[in-house]
Amino acid sequence: MKVFVMIGAPGAGKGTQAAILSERLGLPHVASGDLFREAVRLDTRLGREARRYMDRGALVPDSIVVRMIEERLDAPDAAAGVILDGFPRTRPQAEALDLALGRRGARVDAALYVGVPEEELVRRLSGRWLCRSGGHVYNEVSNPPAVPGVCDVDGSELYQRDDDRPETVRARLEQQLPPMYDVIDHYTTQGVLVAVDGGQPIEAVTDALLRAVAHPAGPGRSEAA
Ligand code: AMP
């Protein structure tokens, strides 16, 4: 089982990159935020619990997230591995993931950090649009669709997430950046962290990530241009 962890602040482009890597590496893209949004949409017990936190831009408690991810790791399509996106977001989640993978004879092969300066994150998030049917991601400034409001890939309607409003964006960054730095520390200590400059064009970030996963891990690597 090959396990890659994507790390990046909201808006860093890690979801976009995870989707591309998923296709290029043939591994499922497991995004904790997507799993929660699906649970909310289906109004499951998990969805109702998670929603209380998501609505205010807060993190869902670790115990709930870890349970959900463990279930996902045991799905048949995850047997060859996964690209985790949005999880782990805290040090306890990273430690829980190590244990869960250890029980399955696996480990995190590489933690891929897509770094982008904070002021750029706010600018990007406020311009983010998603498509209704496939979750394809656009940005008014850096990655606009050919026709405003319409998905290039499947023609469905584009919408803005409730938690991409500027006040919520700042709350999300304030709450989510400090634990993210703990997660980066965790994987730096393990020698599996790869830092990539997320300010580059999408293709350049992808190339840097693919170069990184093609080579065995070594401490303190940086694939930044
Ligand atoms: P995302 O789509 O990754 O930005 O996630 C949307 C929301 O889901 C977050 O703002 C959190 O409320 C929740 N969430 C997703 N992943 C996690 C996680 N690993 N730990 C805690 N909460 C999470």
Work out the end-to-end distance of the chain between its first and last CA atoms, rounded to an integer number of angstroms: 29
Query: What CATH number does domain 2-117+177-223 carry, 3.30.450.20, 3.40.50.300, 3.30.870.10, 3.20.20.100?
Result: 3.40.50.300
Report the nearest atom of ligand 1 relative to the CA of 163: 10
**Where in the chain are the domains?**
2-117+177-223
Record the pTM. Answer: 0.82
For residue 42, what are its two tokens? 């289906």
Q: Which residues contact 58 (CB under 8 A, 6 or more apart)?
A: 175
Contact between 20 and 206 (Cβ < 8 Å): yes
Q: Which of 6, 7, 16, 18 is nearest to 124 (CA)?
A: 16
Pure H helices in 26-104: 32-42, 45-54, 62-73, 91-103
60 CA to centre of ligand 1 in angstroms: 7
Whether 173 lines ligand 1, by a CB cut-off of 6 Å, is no
Q: How far is CA 133 from the centre of its chain?
A: 19
Q: Is 41 exposed, middle or buried (0-12, 13-18, 19+ CB in 10 A)?
A: exposed
Within a 10 A sphere around the Cβ of 81, how many other Cβ atoms? 17
The per-residue pLDDT for 216 is: 57
Q: Using the atom order of ligand 1, give the atom closest to the CA of residue 54.
A: 12
DSSP state of 166: H
Regions in the chain scoring below 50 on pLDDT: 218-220, 224-225
Q: How many angstroms separate the CA atoms of 103 and 101, rounded?
A: 5
Which residue matches tokens 């890690």? 14
Report the amino acid identity of residue 83: I
169, 125 in Cβ contact below 8 A? yes
pLDDT tens digit sequence for 84-106: 999 999 999 999 999 999 999 99
Question: What is the predicted pLDDT for the residue at 124?
Answer: 84
